[in-house]
């Protein structure tokens, strides 16, 4: 773990930071793990108990709440919102963390701008279209979009 290259960004001392990490100010980052070669754009919040995997990019204005694990070489575009509280008891869980749920994002997952990701598991090699709302687990590689996000097509090998 090393000191990240920040642009005068406030980052809590309780953050575990890997090598070659770039964090642009202003961002609010605390209690999480940020692995090697991660880029974090401005106006990003990453809360405690979250993990950002090696080589991933979190673009500006995204919100990574507690209990979110993002794998390696992911691209989280601008304004992506993760959710851990489903208001399942009729309103916010408040401090009752037993009601918060996990999200796990695999490797090579790209999430389009302005998407909302409910507490789900997404497998490796997935694209989520801009403005999507992901409400269910995704266990098959491919391109998904819409509200709720639906399978559009497979990802063409070698890059489309
Ligand atoms: C999801 C995405 C990858 C699909 O691209 P594509 O495979 O070329 O899809 P197409 O444009 O051929 O559209 C296929 C269908 O999906 C629909 N669709 C495409 N993107 C959609 C989206 N984001 N949400 C809802 N529907 C979408 C299209 O309307 C079309 O529907 P139709 O067949 O009923 O006309 C792309 O549209 C997208 O949203 N990319 C995200 C880009 C992004 O956020 N980048 C951030 C960095 S700037």
In the residue annotation, 61 being an active-site residue is answered as: yes
Q: What is the pLDDT of residue 27?
A: 94
Q: Is the Cβ atom of 145 under 6 angstroms away from ligand 1?
A: yes
Torsion sign (Cα): 123, 61, 97, 9: positive
Its sign, for the CA torsion 36, 114, 112, 101, is positive
CA angle 100, 117, 127 (to 5 degrees): 145
Contacts of 50 (CB under 8 A, 6+ apart): 31, 32, 33, 64, 65, 66, 67, 68, 69, 70
Q: What is the pTM of this model?
A: 0.94
CATH number of 16-87+97-153: 2.160.10.10
pLDDT number for residue 94: 85
Query: CB atoms < 10 A from the CB of 82, how many?
Result: 26
The response to whether residue 142 sits with its C-beta less than 6 Å from ligand 1 reads: no
In contact, 35 and 51? CB cutoff 8 Å: yes
Q: 146 CB under 6 A from ligand 1?
A: yes
Token couple for 152? 């559009």
Per-residue pLDDT of the chain (160 residues; tens, 9 = 90+): 555 555 545 567 799 999 999 999 999 999 999 999 999 999 999 999 999 999 999 999 999 999 999 999 999 999 999 999 999 999 999 888 899 999 999 999 999 999 999 999 999 999 999 999 999 999 999 999 999 999 999 998 665 4
How many A from CA of 5 to the centre of ligand 1?
Answer: 34
120 Cβ closer than 6 Å to some ligand 1 atom = no
pLDDT score at 8: 45
Task: For the chain, give every domain's residue range.
Answer: 16-87+97-153
* Ligand 1 center–CA 8 separation, angstroms: 36
Q: What is the DSSP letter of 10?
A: -
- Neighbour count for residue 76 (Cβ, 10 Å): 29
Q: What number of CA atoms fall less than 13 Å from residue 3's CA on the CB side?
A: 6
Sequence-distant contacts of 17-26: CB under 8 A, at least 24 apart: 18/54, 24/60
pLDDT of residue 160: 46
């Amino acid at each position: 773990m090393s000191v990240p290259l920040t642009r005068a960004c406030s980052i809590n001392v309780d953050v575990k930071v890997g090598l070659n990490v770039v964090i642009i100010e202003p961002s609010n980052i605390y209690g999480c793990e940020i692995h090697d070669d991660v880029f974090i754009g401005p106006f990003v919040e990453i809360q405690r108990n979250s993990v950002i995997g090696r080589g991933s990019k979190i673009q500006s204005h995204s919100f990574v709440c507690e209990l979110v694990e993002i794998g390696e070489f992911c691209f989280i575009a601008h304004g992506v919102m993760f959710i851990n509280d489903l208001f399942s008891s009729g309103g916010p869980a408040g401090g009752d963390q037993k009601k918060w749920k996990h999200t796990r994002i695999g490797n090579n997952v790209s999430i389009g701008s302005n998407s909302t990701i409910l507490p789900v598991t997404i497998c490796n090699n997935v694209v989520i279209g801009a403005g999507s709302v992901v409400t269910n687990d995704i266990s098959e590689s491919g391109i998904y979009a819409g509200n709720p996000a639906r399978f559009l097509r497979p990802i063409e090998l070698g890059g489309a």
